Amino acid sequence: MTAIPIARSAAPARLVASFPSSRVTAPPGSPASADLPGAAAAAGAVAADPEVLNRRAALAAYATETAACSRCRLASGRTQVVFGVGNPDADLLFVGEAPGFHEDQQGYPFVGQAGKLLDKLLQGIGLTRDDVYIANVIKCRPPGNRDPQPDEIEACEAHLFRQIELIEPKLIATLGNFATKLLSGKPHGITRVHGRQQETTLGGRSVTLYPLYHPAAALYTPAMLRTLEDDFRRIPELLAEETGVAAQVIQFPTAVPQAPLSAAEQLGLF
């Protein structure tokens, strides 16, 4: 494991070197529920900090509540709400767009081809998805993987804002246009703002937003993939600035190989 800060630096107990299973916020009934041994071990790591335990419990309760959400039309076509997954104490939160076919089936964000690329990019900076938290702007799959509509984003945004409030990330990497525009509150597109961190206030706390190209878009475009890799490489340094924990020099192995995708796989990206 690297020296990259992966959980709260303010409270040493939160510096869990390896977070075995942080899927404590998975939808009830899914294989990753709060009673898994990993989650118990993680909870034990901070047993002395009631505020952390309360925050985690509130996140798990909110996931349960959200599983029955019917705030917009997407509720009628979904298999399940894709709430989010990862370390509830993470300093680093990734926010994507919306669940696609595989996410809707499995109940977790970024489990398709774009997710595999995200995993490789994380690996390149010495992290796994258990070190971070991953969520989307929209929690239910839009039919045919179409773009989320403005009223759907409006109906769903409170869920993401509540997640941010409860997870208390220091750095939020927004993946693509939808997350970037929603969380920055600005209309600037990802091509203009990627790789440029900006300070904002979310969930009542100061947080650094770091816009990145969406991994699914980078799968199609080699130049975008290189830019995404370059931008990703700066994450440890940004985390170090936010947490005060020195980042290790990161060896980003090589260019992330671009998997040749069949048309069917490409259609399944979102």
We find the least distance from the C-beta atom of residue 110 to ligand URA, in angstroms, to be 4
We find the least distance from the C-beta atom of residue 127 to ligand URA, in angstroms, to be 18
Contact assessment for residue 175 and residue 214, using Cβ atoms and an 8 Å cutoff = yes
- Residue 87: CB atoms within 10 A of its CB come to 29
Q: Which residues inside 77-106 make contact with ligand URA, applying CB under 6 A?
A: 96-100, 103
Cα Rg of the chain (Å, integer): 17
Find the binder of ligand URA among 25, 136, 180, 243 (CB under 6 A): 136
The residue whose Cβ lies closest to ligand URA is 96
| Kind of pairing between the strands at 171-175 and 198-202 | unpaired
Strands (E), the chain: 85-86, 92-96, 133-136, 171-175, 198-202, 205-212
- Residue 103: CB atoms within 10 A of its CB come to 27
Q: Which residues inside 54-73 make contact with ligand URA, applying CB under 6 A?
A: none
Find the binder of ligand URA among 110, 133, 213, 232 (CB under 6 A): 110
Which of 2, 79 has the CB closer to ligand URA?
A: 79
Which of 203, 268 has the CB closer to ligand URA?
A: 268
- Residue 36: CB atoms within 10 A of its CB come to 17
We find the least distance from the C-beta atom of residue 71 to ligand URA, in angstroms, to be 19
What is the binding site for ligand URA (CB under 6 A)?
96-100, 103, 109-110, 112, 114, 136, 216, 270
